[in-house]
């Protein structure tokens, strides 16, 4: 009898753990929207990087002085952008949204907003760093073309990334925060899941 009960309990527990609770349509939509936005970010940044690499590679060979260094830095900078975009796309492809809990989805959403805001701060630092290099070019005549070209390129790239990150932060915040408020609701008993009745 004990063996029968132990065997039955084993198979019942295996069956219960094998069953997967699928997320609510609202939670699935919240998660899918985040993943789609991350893919759009990667594709947009990757396309921008490829265009800059192509134009910069051709233009660097056909120009001289400050302009040559401007295009060279555009190529260098956008090789990094392309790597970041590629890593982001690969990461978004690997995500399994079917098993993401509400807490995980909210955490991912909040982390993405923090990353975009942190990036805008870095982007401002890039613009300032580029301006510094450009200014140093006036004090070092032997490296003036290189410093001014690199500085202008970094200012341009930092300016683009600032606009890109800030716009995407607000898009992410406006869309995601509305859905997050629908999913989460504070009650006297705590925080719970809200399922709209249609």
Higher pLDDT, 134 or 198: 134
The reply to whether 189 falls in a domain is no
The reply to whether 13 falls in a domain is no
The reply to whether 94 falls in a domain is yes
| Domain that includes residue 127, residue range | 25-183
Query: pTM of whole model > 0.75?
Result: yes
The pLDDT value recorded for residue 22 is 64
The reply to whether 193 falls in a domain is no
The reply to whether 2 falls in a domain is no
The reply to whether 19 falls in a domain is no
Count CB-CB contacts under 10 A for residue 66: 19
| Residue % of the chain over a pLDDT of 70 | 77
Cα–Cα dist 88/116, whole Å = 13
The reply to whether 16 falls in a domain is no
Structural domain total, the chain? 1
Q: If you count them, how many residues does the chain have?
A: 198
The reply to whether 20 falls in a domain is no
pLDDT digits (tens, 9 = 90+) for 175-192: 877 666 666 654 444 555
The per-residue DSSP string of 48-104 comes to: HHHHHHHHHHHHHHH--HHHHHHHHHHHHHHHHHHHHHHHHHHHHHH--GGG--HHH
Residue range 65-69: mean pLDDT, rounded: 96
């Amino acid at each position: 009898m004990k063996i029968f009960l132990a065997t039955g309990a084993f198979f019942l527990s295996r069956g219960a753990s094998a069953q997967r609770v699928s997320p609510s349509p609202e939670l699935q939509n919240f998660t899918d929207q985040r993943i789609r936005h991350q893919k759009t970010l990667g594709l947009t940044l990757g396309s921008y990087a490829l265009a800059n690499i192509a134009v910069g590679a051709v233009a660097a060979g056909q120009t001289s002085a400050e302009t040559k260094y401007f295009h060279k830095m555009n190529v260098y900078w956008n090789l990094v952008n392309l790597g970041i975009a590629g890593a982001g796309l690969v990461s978004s492809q690997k995500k399994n949204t079917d098993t993401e809990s509400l807490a995980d989805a909210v955490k991912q959403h909040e982390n993405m907003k923090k990353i975009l805001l942190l990036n805008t701060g870095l982007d401002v630092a890039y613009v300032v760093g580029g301006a510094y290099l450009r200014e140093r070019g006036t004090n070092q005549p032997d490296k003036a073309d290189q410093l001014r070209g690199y500085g202008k390129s970094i200012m341009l790239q930092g300016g683009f990334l600032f606009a890109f990150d800030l716009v995407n932060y607000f898009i992410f915040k406006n869309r995601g925060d509305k859905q997050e408020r629908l999913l989460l609701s504070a009650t006297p008993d705590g925080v719970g899941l809200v399922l709209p009745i249609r």
